[in-house]
Amino acid sequence: MNNPITKLLASYFAGAFGLLQIVDIAIDRLSLPVEILNYLLILTVVGFVGILTYSVFPSLIKANKPDVKQKKSIISIVVIVMIFTLSVSNIFLFRESSLSDVRNEAYSSGFALIDNLTENERYIEAYQLANSYHEKLPKDSLVLKKLNQSSLEVNINSKPEGASIFYSDLDSDEWVFVGKTPTKARIPGINSGARGYIKFKLAKEGYKDYLSLTTAGLIGRVSFNKEKYSLIPISHKNTNMVQVPKGPTRLFVSELGDLNIVNLESYWIDKYEVTNEQYQSFINAGGYKKREYWDIILNEDGNTISWEQGMSIFVDKSGLNGPSTWTNGTYEVNKKDFPVLGISWYEARAYAKWAGKSLPTIYHWYKAAMFWGESGAISPRSNFSGSPSEVGKFSIFSSYGCYDMAGNAREWGTNPHKNGNRSVMGGGYDDDTYYFTDNFSQHPINRYKTNGFRCVIIPENETNLASADTLIQSYTRNFYSHKPISDEVFNIYNGMFKYDKTPINATIIEDRIDINDAWYKQVVEIDAAYNEERFSLNIFIPKNENPPFKTVVYVPGSGSITSRNSKNLTGNRMGFLMRSGYALIIPIYKGTYERGYPEFPNYVENKSKVYADQMIMMVKDYSRAIDYVEEQDDLSNSVYYYGISWGGMLGPLFLANESRIKKAVWQVAGLGARETRPEGNPLTFLSRINKPVLMLNGIYDQYFPFETSQKPMYDLLPLKEPMKKMITYKSAHSPPASQTSKEVLQWFRE
């Protein structure tokens, strides 16, 4: 053996050590797998064995007796190996020390943060944090548990294969690449169809992007059912349309929830609302001059008018044929991609026929709009801003990739209503967000400024079209013929709302959540008055006023029934109360938010005992909230009732059966026409109210018509003015907030 071998080994180990250091740094900087370092070390050892085998050992074998020089070389080799071993050990010891720091961080604060993020359904952030720990601590069982808590491992496949998979946060346009189909991948979220919504995309060259508002659980369900995501070629004739798969369709919409499930064949629906530019093409093609596109036209009295009379009505601001919002036969400059607005049902139908399509039934429209509970994700991110926008500008889309299903334009449907109206869905840019989940109707000749539409293509083999295009029942009732109940009967019903006074056993869940500079939120859990249940109170407390605070206990609209998440309640809509020194309490009533249950799917009144018991439990929850108020030094015993929409409609139940309420506001409220058991019917208790009531209503309200619902409710209140007061606005179900807030404050202060 000679000196060059020693130099070779020294150079080899020096180079190997340098490479290990570079790779060690790269692993941290580029988040590469730690296993790379292990594999590289194995290769280094293999190389060392190779040098020994082919260079060192042959020299030793040839030498009969090592001389002093050879012995020194052997010692040098041993020293080099020892130095290399110690140096490499230092790398691994340092890395183990770093991993120990990571483990300490995860155990001391990281896991708690992941828990908090998942509790607030911020699954993407929770997953990213858990995954960062898992990459460094892949064998740690607790880290793996947190990873599984924040994400779901699912199989994803497409037809054709090779599609790139992405997901995105609802409020972000940045897509995270996951892999290519077919693959098994982790998706942020849990095994739920209504928790942890994300935007999901499949992309492949030559095909339209597949878009879906979905959850990890729903993605997993596709694989479980051995289904594949189908991609549509760009060359397909149905441009800017999405395909909705066949299957049973149920309406998760207020007032329509009791309609039958209908099996629909697969169909196509416009990805966007029909635009000004598209409608201009219809006009330019003589759409208003060709009778074959037009249905028989009825005026507002239900009488048939001639086609010529109809065309004289369907004109723009200048008198030319076209939407009511246009001028001189065309749309405003730079608004070609805005939805066409100011359209009657007849005009929408004519366009659809010209385009070789049709208007959707309520079943076809709502299936494309909502799988089940997406309204909480879609509505607040849609255009209810007060002015129209380009189609698709708001980046939220439905479970099948349709844009602007909520807000922007109200969209006509085909379904007739018994009162002569036609369905209008989704709500317009000047409506409230809950319009998305409420069905309402307008006369087909109506040309309101937010009326628009989108089209569908329904296959010829659809056998259930008649069922989907069902007549919608409009319930009416002569409330003035109702006879007030006697004292004896009232005492019987009132007894159903009473309960034995027991400790509320309050527990603070969230002590202080800062909402803004004017108020903070506290979440307290208390005992219910029935079934050994507990429920939460969301309490919004002023920051800039001194206690004790007068307290408003709120009863929400019907959106609280279909929503399953109360954690995001901020009190913003009632912010004027906290800024004026009032505390606001929003109880999580039985049947709302997380306390929903299948037997109470919507607010539609019915004769079941379940419905009546639901009303009684809600009133008891309200009373328990007052029990809590009475035990708090910071809250005054002056309690005010504030109910909006459904919460206003139920007002008589609460005021007649809870004597501690000082005053009440019923906003956009009216009497419901459907029959219910008397103990659960607001009409039963209307004549028993003796506390001041303010009603704030829109005279064009589509849910509670003024003459047949609002006015009877007000007239049958047994109070004399000024103990009762009604203010109406020239609006629908959403009077101007700046005006209603002023009236609410003035009423509570008087």
pLDDT tens, residue by residue, 686-731? 999 999 999 999 876 757 878 888 999 999 999 999 999 999 987 6
Mapped onto helix, strand or coil, the DSSP state of residue 418 is: coil
Would the pLDDT of 246 be above 90? yes
Domain check: are 546 and 686 in the same one? yes
Read out DSSP for 651-666? HHHHHHH-TTEEEEEE
128 in a domain, yes or no? no
487 in a domain, yes or no? yes
Domain check: are 547 and 680 in the same one? yes
pLDDT tens, residue by residue, 612-626? 999 999 999 999 999
Model confidence band, residue 468 (pLDDT cutoffs 50, 70, 90): very high
Domain check: are 587 and 718 in the same one? yes
Range 218-230 average pLDDT: 91
Domain check: are 526 and 648 in the same one? yes
Range 326-352 average pLDDT: 97
- In contact, 719 and 690? CB cutoff 8 Å: yes
Return the CATH number at 169: 2.60.40
494 in a domain, yes or no? yes
Quote the Cα angle for 407-411-414, to 5°.
Answer: 155
pLDDT at 49: 67
Would the pLDDT of 10 be above 90? no
140 in a domain, yes or no? no
Average pLDDT value for the chain: 89
pLDDT at 136: 83
Domain check: are 511 and 402 in the same one? no
Range 324-343 average pLDDT: 97
Domain check: are 604 and 696 in the same one? yes
474 in a domain, yes or no? no
Pairing of strands 262-264, 247-249: antiparallel
Would the pLDDT of 463 be above 90? yes
Indicate the DSSP class of residue 35.
Answer: H
Range 385-413 average pLDDT: 96
Other Cβ atoms closer than 10 A to 597: 10
Of the candidates 448, 468, 488, which is a domain's last residue? Answer: 468
Model confidence band, residue 333 (pLDDT cutoffs 50, 70, 90): very high
> How many domains does the chain contain in total?
4
Quote the Cα angle for 401-403-405, to 5°.
Answer: 110
Model confidence band, residue 1 (pLDDT cutoffs 50, 70, 90): very low
Q: φ, ψ for residue 203 (rounded to 5)?
A: -135, 135
252 in a domain, yes or no? no
Domain check: are 592 and 681 in the same one? yes
Structural domain boundaries, residue 393: 260-468
pLDDT at 733: 77
Range 226-240 average pLDDT: 92
Would the pLDDT of 559 be above 90? no
Would the pLDDT of 65 be above 60? no
Model confidence band, residue 553 (pLDDT cutoffs 50, 70, 90): very high
List helix spans (H) across 151-295.
Answer: 216-224, 276-284
- In contact, 430 and 386? CB cutoff 8 Å: yes
Domain check: are 439 and 483 in the same one? no
Domain check: are 370 and 310 in the same one? yes
pLDDT at 704: 81
Range 523-544 average pLDDT: 97
pLDDT at 431: 87
pLDDT at 92: 54
DSSP E strand stretches across 158-249: 158-159, 164-168, 176-180, 183-188, 198-203, 210-214, 229-230, 241-244, 247-249
413 in a domain, yes or no? yes
Domain check: are 313 and 215 in the same one? no
Range 217-243 average pLDDT: 92
Residue closest to 414 by CA, chosen among 468, 461, 368, 373: 468
pLDDT at 440: 82
* CA 476 and chain centroid, separation: 33
Range 500-516 average pLDDT: 95
Of the candidates 447, 468, 489, which is a domain's last residue? Answer: 468
Alpha-carbon gap, residue 329 to 283, rounded angstroms: 8
Range 462-488 average pLDDT: 90
Domain check: are 513 and 600 in the same one? yes
Domain check: are 268 and 288 in the same one? yes
Asked whether the CA dihedral 565, 566, 570, 574 is positive or negative, the reply is positive
Would the pLDDT of 27 be above 70? no
138 in a domain, yes or no? no
Return the CATH number at 375: 3.90.1580.10
